[in-house]
Structure 1
Amino acid sequence: MPPLPQAIRDRRAVLSAVARETKAALPDILRQLPHVKADSSKRLDIDRVPVLDRADCPGFPLSSNSESRGTRVRVMNEDTLDAAIMMGESLAESASSLGHGNQRVAALNLASDKNPGGGWMSGAMAQEEALCYRSSLALSLHKSYYPWSPTTAVYTRDVVLVRSSMSDGHRFLVPQMPSTQLPIVSVISVAAIRRPALRTAPGTSEYNSHRLQTTFKYPADRQLTKKKMRLALRIAAHEKHELLVLGALGCGAFRNPPEEIARCWAEVLDETEFRGGWWREIILAMESGPKVEGDEAQRTPSTDRDDTESQSDDTIDLAPMRSQNGHGCADLSDKDDSEDPFEVSFDGDDDPMCPRSMNLSRKWFLVCLVGLGSLCVTCTSSIYTSTYGQMNPEFHQSDIVATLGLSTFVLGIALGPLFLGPLSEFYGRRPIYLASWGMFVIWLIPSAVARNTATMVTVRFIDGFAGSAFLSVAGGTVSDVFKRDQIQSPMTIISLSPFIGPSLGPLIGGFINYYTNWRWTYYVLIIWSFSMLVLMVFFAPETYHPIKLREKARLIRKETGDERWKAPMEKSTKSIPRTIALSLLRPFQLLALEPMCLLLSLLSAVLLGVIYLFFGAFTLVFGGNYGFNLWQIGLSFVGIAIGMLVGAATNPIWHVIHRRLVRRNHGVHEPEFRLASSILGAVIVPVGLFLFAWTSFPWVHWILPIIGSGLFGFGTLLVFNGIFTFLVDTYPLYAASALAANSFLRCTFAAAFPLFGKQLYRAAGYQWASSVLAFITLALMPLPYVFFHYGKRIRQNSKFTTKA
């Protein structure tokens, strides 16, 4: 047997250390929970568990306003424990009531029949090991139970969750959470058949007759699997559990056929014994690979069901579980991709080849690196305005002509994503980052040595075009490495960086140009950007999922010698010109056909336009009213920067609000929940602008207009953060294109506003000029609120958005 790849060995070493930490920490934690018997369990054989008596059935209603008796069933792309916690939270009054009374959730452990906890102490990565890393489950799996017979299960009443998920870094929940509030679930451990013989044949049902399906080769294996399922359900019912989390029994390391397992669950749940409402709700937690962003040819549109948390990316046919049947099984959505047994996919988010399997510190380093690149680009755009005082006399040009260098740079930022974003979906993220950033560094040099206006305007456009990769591809990088329910915090960094940059540019440039020659502005930028290029060369890995799948396919072909293994990208017939043409068109399609994308992009575009207009306005207001010199005018932008930083600091609050919204929605996430911060931000923005406007008098202390600008910055960050995460969440297949559309509109406004900013302030006066901007933002203020309430209805009529 060939040795494991180094990446897998490294991951196992890390997880083995996690296992030792969990094992060492459990005694101290459990001593604070004397009522919990974490090491108590019972081994049960199917012959010792009676068939359910319908006279004992509690007969739960399908819904609060329904007279029908049955069990609501949902499928979720979720970790078993996270699904159990979410289910408990949706019914519990508070976190402290999780796991108590009849709201105790029972979760299915897909166990090993040979070893307690499988290979958790050696760093294995299957579902049982994942449960053991995070909880006290292993304490109840006694060695005396093993090996199991084929129809054995182990029931553990008290399993305490002590750590967060792998994607969250396996953080210990204590001491941040009191031990008495740790979630507690019950666990039913059942072992699937190990690597059963399989066969492939045409589908026999109306749902899959058009494609091949993989099934058990021997009917006896299928019947044994259903016996195991009946055993788990009977134990859950006899132990009076009302909430149940099931799973894809044996579909991981044991290679049971996923669609066949789904059909078996559907058939067992439809048996007379289990009808009538034995449970309030069942979740089928089938955590699968990540959604591929950017190429519609690799996925088919999901069905527009509202009762499914997210779609599975495995080719699992859930059609048998769709219809309302005797036990009240809710309609479940499914993917209908053509199955190819040799198509390479990720083995869940923990697959070493999957970018989402990176440890949390590495993910955040990558986010900070990309964010710093965005900061450098946008700082380069605005730092230029601090050179006017020295550059204009040297070039014999006016302020309005000098402003062309600012506008052309931002125009380059607007156009660049239309090419670089699509290319990243074809070549991957890393080549685009390195090539574009290398060009960015090179084209800063002509700016530093320019001798005339034409040179400066031309090279500024090229530099903006090259640097735009970090503004268009960064959002895709975040969706590459973080799951949908984790993107809020990293997206805050991505949102913050390009908007802090314009505020820092005049501050940095003010000091440079006040104390030395204007060309040192570009020397500093060259040093900064070259240092960034070195970091990217050594520390920015490829994260685009289709490219990583292609790498995995190559590795499998090399190890097996079987050339039939292919990644979806390798089977694509798209040409580079066609890909670029389609992706160039898509941002404009989104702007033309998607009212939410257009109007929310318009709101963010106006706000960025105001920021760039302020480069001229602040010179007039603070230079004219208060006699500020160049570096003091630069310092006046600190108000906007601080406002944005404070807005970013509120991110944990929006996390809590998002979780509450999901809980109120019975555990179902909706993209509109991301707009909560934008609703507040859209209200604060005009307030800040009006305050800035009507305190801009020479006899009013300069701190008041700066406070007004700070409120504007605070509200702007909240708006941007909500809109960015909403676009990524609403258009998961076209996230890069949606962000490119947003970026194009934003940068178009940012390029145009400075051209008339000073004229507006001189003609209308400082107060009314700022008030005009405030009234525009006031007119746009309702947009986030409207889409928060009606966005889901709009999404149902869109071919671009996620429906569920």
Structure 2
Amino acid sequence: MSNYHKEEEDKIHSYSDFLSDRQSIPNSNISSSSSTISNDNEPKEYLQLEKTETKKSLKELGVTKEKPPPEINDPPIEDPIFPEEYHLETDTGLVSAKTLESLGRTISGSHHSVTDQTEFVTFKVNDPENPHNWPMWKKWFYTFLLTWLVVAAAYGSSCLSGGLFTINEKYGVSTEVSTLAVSLMVFGFSIGPLLWGPGSEIIGRRPIYFISFGLYTIFNIPCALSPNIGGLLACRFICGVCASSALTNVGASLVDIHSEETRGLAIAFFSFSPYSAPILGVLVNGFISVNTRRMDLIIWVNMAFAGVMWIIISLVPETYAPTILKARAKKLRKETGNPNIMTEQEAQPLSFKEMVNTNLVLPLKFVFTEPVLDLVCAFIALIYGLLYAFFFAYPYIFGKLYNYKDDKIGLMFIPVLIGAFFAVGTTYILEKQYNVMLKKRKPVPEDRLIGAMIGAPFPCIALFILGATSYKHIIWVGPASSGLAFGYGMCLCYYSFNNYILDSYAKRAASALATKVFLRSGLGGAFPLFMTAMYSRLGLQWASWLLAFISLAMAFIPFTYYIIGARLRAKWCKEDYTIHYD
């Protein structure tokens, strides 16, 4: 930056003439802004200059007339001028819209806030604020913390299922009514993403975590103190809406942090949490309920867990590139007085109508127009529903056969956790093989289905084992061992299908994931409502076997997609949602 005194201003005939000549400055363009300073009490105008990228430097970085497709987690902007903004690292950190025009990019009429004076902010080379430049230890440390946020949310969903009788005793209701305390929080998981997903794209991940988990922590208080069952159920639903930010946004945060090489393994750890953490809720609170018979203590423990995670997550830095760059643009505007420095998301903010379409209408529309996505989501929803079904099938089976109470019944879920740990080990091997494949050829979404093909038969096997061993003369180890197969298949399938959705619906990843969460949580909340009645009427064996046959039919989905998935996507998808890189 330099100041031009009055005698030097005579050399510049006009401000616009100066701007037109700025290409002549070596290695950079110059971004200009005017300000006023006082010298001997006399105000004088001066030009404040910032270096921006030139046509040559942008070409060297691979920027051409052809715009690349948006990447996963890019803000939803229709027809972006500079889609590389959030991933490109430049020497100066500024790219002029005028320079982009010189490369052949066109500012259309819809770009009402973008002019040829606009300067787009980018990350600088080796920028420490770019999450992709963080050292690997830092990436995995924050991955660990974010994963525990998911654990806290999922733990809360099942905590009361470890002591439903405490609700019955406190409010004088039946088990059918107290079951709603579990189902309604899971139903809340399906509504929350419609709020927290778009919110994180506007104000960032970190503020959304802070707001939502703060509310989740607070709403545990009326859950514990509610004088009637209606208050408890209403507050549990609100808890589900608030806690769902972890289930919705943590996956996006991991994509913010991790590159293609490590993203799959990070998603594997994320996949472990929402499916395994509810088991911790049943395990821990089974002992609390049997030994204290206090429903409020179960809630206070859950509140403490949520509160600790609320504090911890407040320390995690922002990971969403558009939000980081918006803060930088705001700082530069203040320092330079140049109002033309901005991000494209600031220049082209989504209207309310566009936000509703992307985050509400489109996810619901996908349910009716995207059969490829529907079948994948149906499998994920079935697995999630079966997990919550186990929370009510196990108490019925082990209570009827062995007269176990909730504390011992919680121990029966330990094999599910063990199976899930084995699944994480398998995903590590699969990810290493996937990275080797990346060096040989371009990936396709179907490459992500290896894990699902391995895991798909296991829920079916688990349910057949559960039914075949649900006899009084067979020791409890038999039905409990079914959890090993279920936990293994459950986590493998979710990890694999989650990555498949990200890759096959990359251009509309946020909407596709919202569809998944909506369908998954809907079925997860519905299963507990009829599980006890189903086992009572069909019997211990055929209730499990009916679910096994449904799982067997669904197990063919990943194999079918792996073989003819590309043809199915070409035929059934309304458009090609994948991202192709040359």
Both proteins in one fold, TM over 0.5: yes
Question: Any idea what SS the aligned residue of 2:421 has?
Answer: helix
Match of 1:614 among 343, 368, 390: 390
Given that 2:131 and 2:256 are in contact with CA atoms closer than 8 Å, whether structure 1 keeps it comes out as: yes
- Maintained 8 Å contact 2:28/2:53: no
1:457 aligns with 2:233: yes
The C-alpha deviation readout for 1:252-300, integer Å capped at 9, x for no partner, is 9998333378699x9xxxxxxxxxxxxxxxxxxxx99975434142648
Counterpart of 1:706 in structure 2 is 480
Does 1:501 find its partner at 2:282? no
Superposed displacement of residue 341, structure 1: 7.4
Greater helix share, 1 or 2?
Answer: 2
Superposition deviation, residue 723 in structure 1: 0.9
Q: 2:415 aligns with which of 632, 639, 652?
A: 639
For 2:248 and 2:486, how far apart are their aligned partners in 1?
Answer: 24
Report whether the alignment pairs 1:543 with 2:319: yes
**Which of 59, 83, 91 is the equivalent residue of 1:259?**
59
Question: For the residues of structure 1 that align with 2:510 and 2:381, how far apart are their CA atoms?
Answer: 17
The TM-score normalised by the length of structure 1 is 0.60
Map 1:402-801 onto structure 2 (within 5 A): 402-516=178-292, 517-537=294-314, 539-576=315-352, 578-663=354-439, 666-796=440-570, 798-799=574-575, 801=577
The question of whether the paired residues in 2 share the 8 Å contact of 1:289 and 1:314 is answered with: no
SS at match of 1:451: coil
* Residue pair 1:386, 1:509 contacting (<8 A) in 2 also: yes
User: What is the TM-score with the length of structure 2 in the denominator?
Assistant: 0.81
SS in 2 for 1:673: helix
In the other structure, the counterpart of 2:78 is 297
> How big is each residue's C-alpha offset from its partner over 1:451-501, in whole Å with a ceiling of 9 and x where there is no partner?
221111111111111111111111111111112332111111211111111
User: Would the alpha carbon gap of residues 770 and 253 (structure 1) be closer, same or farther in structure 2, given more than 3 Å must change?
Assistant: same
Decide whether aligned partners of structure 1 residues 655 and 574 sit closer, same or farther in structure 2, where only a CA change above 3 A counts: closer
Aligned residues: 517
Pair member with larger Rg: 1
Matches within 5 A, 1:52-131: none
- Mark the CA change 1:525 to 1:337 in structure 2 (over 3 Å): closer, same or farther: farther
Residues 594 and 350 (structure 1), Cα distance of their counterparts in 2 relative to 1, 3 Å cut: farther
**Counterpart in 2 of 1:369?**
145
Q: Distance in 2 between matches of 1:444 and 1:370?
A: 21
Aligned residue identity for 1:459 = C
The question of whether the paired residues in 1 share the 8 Å contact of 2:123 and 2:325 is answered with: no
Aligned with 1:344: secondary structure? strand
What aligned pairs does 1:343-362 form with structure 2 within 5 A after superposition? 343-347=119-123, 350-362=126-138
CA contact (8 A) 1:605 1:749 kept: yes
Deviation for aligned residue 1:559 = 4.3
Report the CA distance shift for 1:642/1:263 in structure 2 as closer, same or farther (over 3 A).
closer
1:89-488 matches, cutoff 5 A: 195-196=26-27, 256-259=56-59, 292-297=73-78, 299=80, 342-347=118-123, 350-488=126-264
User: Aligned to 1:375, what secondary structure does the other structure show?
Assistant: helix
**1:581 Cα deviation (Å)?**
4.5
For 1:261 and 1:546, locate their aligned partners in 2 and report how far apart those are by CA, in whole Å.
20
**Is contact 1:433–1:470 with CA below 8 Å preserved after alignment?**
yes
Unaligned runs of 5+ in 1: 3-193, 200-251, 267-286, 303-309, 317-333
CA contact (8 A) 1:294 1:737 kept: no
Contact 2:74–2:86, Cα closer than 8 Å, also in 1: no
Amino acid at match of 1:749: L
Return closer, same or farther for 1:314/1:775 CA change in 2, 3 Å cut-off.
same
d(CA) in 2 for partners of 1:301, 1:799: 22
Matched residue, 2:49: none
The residue type equivalent to 1:570 in the other structure is: E
The 5 A counterparts of 1:29-40 are none
SS at match of 1:487: helix
Please list the CA deviations of residues 53-87 of structure 1 after superposition, one character each: whole Å capped at 9, or x if unmatched: xxxxxxxxxxxxxxxxxxxxxxxxxxxxxxxxxxx
Say what the alpha-carbon RMSD is for the aligned residues: 3.4
Q: CA deviation at 1:659?
A: 2.9
- The C-alpha deviation readout for 1:658-697, integer Å capped at 9, x for no partner, is 134435xx42122221111011111222112111211111
Range with greater deviation from structure 2 (418-427 or 589-598): 589-598
Q: 1:528–1:602: structure 2 CA closer, same or farther, 3 Å change rule?
A: same
Identity between Structure 1 and Structure 2 (%) = 29
Kindly indicate whether the alpha-carbon contact (under 8 Å) linking 1:392 and 1:399 is maintained by their aligned counterparts in 2.
yes
The 2-side partners of 1:263 and 1:435 are apart by: 38
AA of the residue aligned to 2:56: N
How far the C-alpha of 1:352 sits from its partner, in A, is: 2.9
Does the 8 Å contact 2:89/2:124 carry over to 1? no
Give 1:391 shift. Answer: 2.2
Output the CA distance in 2 between the equivalents of 1:671 and 1:385.
37
Q: Could you tell me whether the CA contact under 8 Å between 1:349 and 1:357 is conserved in 2? A: no
Query: Structure 1 residues 335 and 767, CA, compared in 2 at 3 Å: closer, same or farther?
Result: farther
**Residue 95 (structure 2) aligns with:** none
SS for the counterpart of 1:373 is helix
Question: How far 1:578 moved relative to its partner?
Answer: 4.2
Q: SS in structure 2 opposite 1:352?
A: coil
1:730/1:459 CA distance change after superposition, 3 Å: same
